[in-house]
Chain A
Amino acid sequence: MPDPRTDGAAVTAARGLAPRPFRVAVPPVSGVLRPRLLLVCAALVAVTFVVFCWNVAVGDYPITLTGVMKALAGVGDPGTLLVVRELRLPRALVGLLAGVAFGVSGAVFQTVTRNPLASPDMIGLTQGAGTAVVASIVLGWDGGLGPQTLALLGTLLTAVLVYTLAWRGGTTGYRVILVGIGVSWICTSVTDFLVARGGKFQAQAALGWLVGNLNGRDIDEAVPLALALVVLLPVTLALTRHLRTLQLGDDVATGLGVAVQPARLALLLAAVGLVAFGVAAAGPVAFVALAAPQIAQRLAGTAMPPPVTAGVTGALVVLGADLATRTIVPGAEVPVGIVTGVLGAPVLLWLLIRANRAGSGG
């Protein structure tokens, strides 16, 4: 049976392998259970946990993996406990949480706009954050807000700008993307100007922030992000029931009784909030919000990116990339965003080729 929601070869291939989803109805709860999705999600969580611990284990004072797990449980010698809790855990947590935020946010963006290329870094949100932070670094004045709050404000302002400009008696996915491209060019050129205007060290600091970085991340970055996730994740996941309807197209969704514009706005707001806090904590880590949902979708064999799995994949990508920078080039402190950028860009191209082949690229 052809399903109108499926798009192209990957799904067709996946359908052969996947255990069929089935509907469970135990009144008063009913829902579709997808065994493969659950299996993939559980496996990803397990792998992410190991990579997380490995992240904590690597450093000038090496700790074994079991040592890390013990320390996380509160067992071990005081020295190890101190290193783990005070120094390494916050950094790894920032990576984990930011990855979750990017992944979930990307999944929502891609489903709402019905385009795999719509991610926060393609439509200017992270560039807006970059402009705000670089402005404060170069001008040497942040109004007492600090880079985190500035990145947050920059992202939210850009989102409002893109949405307002794309609004014309409603919005369509493509208009949001193209308007976002225009806005992101403006932000990028302002950032370039500021970087050129600043001193050599300011320029380096600014470019270092712009690429997305976990170096020196601390509990001060982890706590606001964790709080934001506690509030935004349940909201987003509660709203995702509209996602399945929205992806059928505006007309069908309206016919099914969904208030399309409010639902879309609420989902986008939640997704923007997630990415804003993620960028505020870890900087604009390139391509995670774009690639993670796509990887998750392919692993789970679903027709659209599954938000929870995408979140876990995002965490795995960020932590894995951070681990790679520190184990492959020890001491070089390469920003994590360089690894995700260089690895993510081919994913982006491949997506574009696939989208075009399937005729859904535009």
Chain B
Amino acid sequence: MERGDTPVTAGRRARPVVLVALTGAVLAALCLASLALGARAIPLDQVVQALTGHVPGPGGQAAENVVWSVRVPRTVLGVAAGVALGLSGALMQALTRNPLADPGVLGVTAGASFAIVLSITVLGVGSLFGYIWFGFAGALAASVFVYMLGRLGRSGLTPVKLALAGVAVTALLSSLTGAIVLTDPEPLNRYRYWSAGSLASQDAGVVWRILPFLAAGTVLAMACAPALNSLSLGEDVATALGRRLGLVRLQGVTAVMLLTGGAVAVIGPIVFIGLVVPHVARVLATRAGIGPDHRWLLPLAALISPCLLLAADITGRLVARPSEIQAGVLMAFIGGPFFIAMVRRRKLAEV
């Protein structure tokens, strides 16, 4: 909502900036930790030297290699995918006005997964860059389908109907995915690593090439923010305020498609992060006295989400050394109880 004529004091304007800066600082610290920690810990000064020039002394070359060829792509991927999943979660919750919305719960992730598996097995697409297009198409088809399913009926779009539609579509798609994967043993190996959701084992080239798509999705998402503020007052009010809801939804769904499709293609289906992050962002914004203003909520979600994903990834690397636990598994452990806690609240408030 526009503030309009209300005089805005310097103090009030500074608050959101401070909050965003603080979250950004946490993210930066986590990025450094992600570069330094792992099966082989590298001292922070060596990490900085590797990033800026080269590491002196014996073993310097090895440390440089680890940082540049393994940890940098992994960290960049964590940040990019985290931003994408957090933003699409926040966007979906605002668009559907549903506190349980999440690309995983609403079947978008399953749509992308199914399309990708289909492209691997049926069309023989071998490279990640080949099947990312299928990821987009699957994410788009699933999100539109689930949304239509949830809207059917007298009462319109309710949180429970939308969640059920998402679970139903997920069940359908995952049984089809299972049918394909089980009858063709070769893709099974690739599929089972990918389906657990991990930041590991992606080569650097792939990571850089996915970035433009995620960036485009991010820009589109941010551009939705003022309209989302109007929408949070209700569809009628938003229309009365001059928002063209069809256009806003189209823009939102395109952003969700780009963000979720791209993220799922590279790191696999990670559920719940898009569910948790917007709630955390709202709580933080309320505490800081900003209120539910999507022009600040979206950037906050975009910063908190990679923090969570990187933290899960680093934890997964450290607890099971020298092997690791996929970030997707840890996210489900954080997100599942969160989802249940949300459901247990007396009233499922609309966003």
- The binding surface of chain A is classed by DSSP as helix
**Alpha-carbon distance between A196 and B328 when the two chains are bound, in angstroms:** 12
Per-residue 0/1 for B325-341: is the Cβ within 8 Å of any A Cβ (1 yes, 0 no)?
11011011101110110
Q: Which residues of B contact A196 (CB under 8 A)?
A: 192-193, 195-196, 198, 326
Which among A195, A332, A342, A361 is the interface contact of B175 at CB below 8 angstroms? A342
Which among B181, B272, B335 is the interface contact of A207 at CB below 8 angstroms? B181
Q: Is A85 an interface residue (CB 8 A)?
A: no
Interface size class of B (residues with CB under 8 A): 35 or more
Q: Is B185 an interface residue (CB 8 A)?
A: yes
Are the CB atoms of A182 and B343 closer together than 8 Å? Answer: yes
Are the CB atoms of B175 and A182 closer together than 8 Å? Answer: no
Q: Is B179 an interface residue (CB 8 A)?
A: yes
Q: Which residues of A contact B196 (CB under 8 A)?
A: 189, 192-193, 195-196
Which among B155, B167, B182 is the interface contact of A208 at CB below 8 angstroms? B182
| Interface 9-mer from A36-44, A222-230, A333-341 | A333-341
- Separation in Å of the B165 CB from the closest CB of chain A? 6
Q: Is B171 an interface residue (CB 8 A)?
A: yes
**Alpha-carbon distance between A200 and B165 when the two chains are bound, in angstroms:** 34
Residue among B100, B172, B176 with max Cβ neighbours from chain A (10 Å): B172
Size of chain A's interface in residues, with CB distance under 8 A?
53
- Separation in Å of the B346 CB from the closest CB of chain A? 8
Residue among B150, B152, B164, B168 with max Cβ neighbours from chain A (10 Å): B164
Per-residue 0/1 for A157-170: is the Cβ within 8 Å of any B Cβ (1 yes, 0 no)?
00000000110100
Q: Is A308 an interface residue (CB 8 A)?
A: no
- Separation in Å of the A186 CB from the closest CB of chain B? 4
Q: Is B138 an interface residue (CB 8 A)?
A: no
Closest to A329 in B: B183
Which among B153, B171, B178, B323 is the interface contact of A357 at CB below 8 angstroms? B153
**Alpha-carbon distance between A349 and B336 when the two chains are bound, in angstroms:** 24
Known contacts A359-B154, A361-B164, A185 near B104 by CB under 8 Å = yes
Other CB < 8 Å A-B pairs besides A177-B160, A203-B192, 5 of them? A182-B340, A185-B105, A196-B198, A341-B175, A361-B152
Q: What are the 4 tightest A-B residue pairs by CB atom distance, in nearest-first order?
A: A362-B160, A341-B175, A189-B332, A345-B172
